[in-house]
Amino acid sequence: MITVYNHQHVLHQGKVEMFRGQLVPCFEVPARADFVLAELQRRGLGAVQAPVDSGLDVVQRIHSPRYLDFLAGAWAEWVALDPANAARDVLPSVWPVRSFRSDVLPANFAARMGLFSYDAGTPLTAGTWAAAYGGAQCALTAAGLVSGGERSAFALTRPPGHHAGADFFGGYCFLNNAAIAAQALRDAGAARVAVLDIDYHHGNGTQAIFYDRADVFFASIHGDPHTEYPFYLGYADETGSGAGQGHNLNLPLPRGTDFARWRAALGQALQAIARSGAEALVVSLGLDTFEGDPISGFHLRSADYLQVGADLAAAGLPTVFVFEGGYAVAEVGLNAVNVLEGFA
């Protein structure tokens, strides 16, 4: 398996996030990707290469122009407001909920931060755009390898992407790498693509992007949104709309779910993907289903991830893996590479 590694990921290093009413050190840290890379190299599981820069053409088919413009220029705007801002990250503080308007682009920077975000746990930093852009290029390169005949490829990057929608960031995510990979696979000729999200947290951004499309089937196994972030999407009755009706499958599970129950849900998702007629698969590879994860609640163990990889391989589809969550940092490399080894 070829791994496409984003060396730029280290440029995104948030200082603090809002978590349960307090400013705390960020859970999403550069060491997450570093541990995965080190474990890949220790086991010799395929080549590691840098992404090829393909520009923004495909990215613009997933994310809105005004959102991309904001992300690309946000840090410069922030520092221009006050040079002292260079020493502190940006967190949003106001949001246009319910009956508020979102069609008008405010001149005020804080208002635009709120317009394009949905939580206060996702700091924007000096290197956020470079890291996120590099991640999108990883996703595009991995998709290109698979479209070109590789059985699988792994986009190893951070910040993660599956919570980012067409025009919003949150949940540590800015550009939706899984959606970008799926679109690239479609553009390369796959008539239908499936995205399978196995992160503990529902891939709300990916669902929103493809919810009314019939050409991309989305399935997610995740913590029950009655109690688990991101709360406002991920219920079982969300099955798609318009042309996308029947092309969205959510499998929420209660906190405390063990591997046997989780694996049964994985089998259900893979059966639905087979029925969808997908010709290629994108896996949002979150490892926060691990029993030791500090912000999640499933009970998968490290050895279980070998079986997860084997089950994914049994689907028989060309597969792009995209690194998402997983915040038990010391174990995330072992768990991620177990999935890849099980698949291989």
pLDDT value at residue 261: 98
Element (H, E) at 304: helix 304-314
Contacts of 69 (CB under 8 A, 6+ apart): none
pLDDT value at residue 225: 98
pLDDT grade, residue 21 (50/70/90)? confident
Max Cα-Cα span within the chain = 55
What CATH number is associated with residue 188? 3.40.800.20
How do residues 223-243 score in pLDDT, each as one tens digit? Answer: 999 999 999 999 999 999 999
State how many domains the chain has.
1
Residue 174 clears pLDDT 90, i.e. is over it: yes
pLDDT value at residue 290: 98
**Which domain, by its residues, includes 244?**
2-85+127-343
Residue 96: inside a domain, yes or no? no
One-letter amino acid identity for 284? S
Residue 78: inside a domain, yes or no? yes
- Strand segments, DSSP code E, in 64-157 are 152-156
Residue 217: inside a domain, yes or no? yes
Mean pLDDT in residue range 152-164: 98
Residue 94: inside a domain, yes or no? no
Question: Are 39 and 287 a contacting pair, CB within 8 Å?
Answer: no
Question: Any idea which residues carry the catalytic annotation?
Answer: 163
288 vs 19, more confident:
288
Residue 109: inside a domain, yes or no? no
Residue 20 clears pLDDT 90, i.e. is over it: no
Report d(CA 331, CA 32) in Å as an integer.
9
Mean pLDDT in residue range 97-110: 97
How do residues 44-65 score in pLDDT, each as one tens digit? Answer: 999 999 999 999 999 999 999 9
Rg (CA), the chain: 19
Residue 71 clears pLDDT 90, i.e. is over it: yes
Residue 97: inside a domain, yes or no? no
Report d(CA 172, CA 121) in Å as an integer.
7
How do residues 269-290 score in pLDDT, each as one tens digit? Answer: 999 999 999 999 999 999 999 9
pTM, entire model: 0.98
Residue 334: inside a domain, yes or no? yes
Residue 184: inside a domain, yes or no? yes
Mean pLDDT of the chain: 98
Tell me what percent of the residues of the chain surpass a pLDDT of 90: 99
